[in-house]
Amino acid sequence: MSIFDEPKIDAHCHLLAPLQFPYSADALYKPQGQEIGDQSYFSHVMNSYGVQHALLVGPNSGYNLDNTCMCHALTTDPQRFKGIAVVPNDASSEQLCALQKQGVVGVAFNSSFWGTSFYKDIEPLLHRLKELNMYAQFQVEADQLLDFSAMIERSQVRVLIDHCGRPVPAKGVNQAGFAALLKLGKKGQAFVKISGFAKFSALAYPFDDTTIFVEKLVDVFGLSNCMWASDWPYLKASPRLDYGCILQLVAKQFSVTERHKLMWSTADDLFGFSYAGK
């Protein structure tokens, strides 16, 4: 069986449709050209590569705190999509519940975009997410996770970490930020996305300097706490990236049995997707 025929859940992707859902005036970065991808086109991409479900992430790029584009997909195709929203740091339980009813399962904190100081006061929000059994999703880079470790531990919120934690390849697996990520993995509180290689690799495709980090994450977290994601439509990507080539990286590194865990079971268990053929 080809990896294209295996059941898959894409655990990190974005929808950007500025003609239907105009960008926010206060967005710091407004994707254009090949960075844009609406719900209809992404559904074709999913069908082409045998992807049954996707976890949509509200992008800071283009929409800032406006989740309208993403939530439209959640409500019009709830069998296919779940979502991670972007909210104000003081979002109330009522606001979170309203999003939850639309298919949102967590909230994104993107310190690689805003810096860590932007999120210095989010601990009360983490506690609210914990109370609602929602996820706190962090996109960090280098050693940024260190600034969140204590509040994550105190809140006991379930955590999703984007893109392998975006380590610095030249610093190896013992660098402080990656070590903090592994510590979270040992506690069983966090889940990590095996994705976003182009965001932290110092090399061109097939991003060979990321392999050692993937191996270490799988070893410490276990496949039950790891999930695959495409990061489509590759915001701010400088090289050309293609969905099929990203999938082939997984086919090269993992067996069929391992891929079922990585590309299906973990995300299905966490986010409540269902697929008759699983």
Residue 70, class by beta-carbon neighbours within 10 Å (0-12 exposed, 13-18 middle, 19+ buried)? Answer: buried
Domains, the chain, in order of start with CATH, read 8-271 (3.20.20.140)
Per-residue pLDDT for the chain (278 aa), expressed as one digit of tens each?
799 999 999 999 999 999 999 999 999 999 999 999 999 999 999 999 999 999 999 999 999 999 999 999 999 999 999 999 999 999 999 999 999 999 999 999 999 999 999 999 999 999 999 999 999 999 999 999 999 999 999 999 999 999 999 999 999 999 999 999 999 999 999 999 999 999 999 999 999 999 999 999 999 999 999 999 999 999 988 888 999 999 999 999 999 999 999 999 999 999 999 743 34
Write the CB contacts of 222 (distance below 8 Å, at least 6 apart in sequence). Answer: none
Contact 96, 87 (CB under 8 A): yes
CA distance 80 to 167: 31
User: Model pTM?
Assistant: 0.96
The values of phi and psi at residue 185, to 5°, are: -65, -40
Distances 69 to 62, 135, 138, 263 between C-alpha atoms, Å: 11, 20, 21, 25
- The sign one gets for the Cα dihedral 159, 108, 49, 76 is positive
Residue 59 · residue 16 · CB < 8 Å: yes
CA pair distance 180, 176, nearest whole angstrom: 6
Report yes or no: 87 and 102 within 8 Å, Cβ to Cβ.
Answer: no
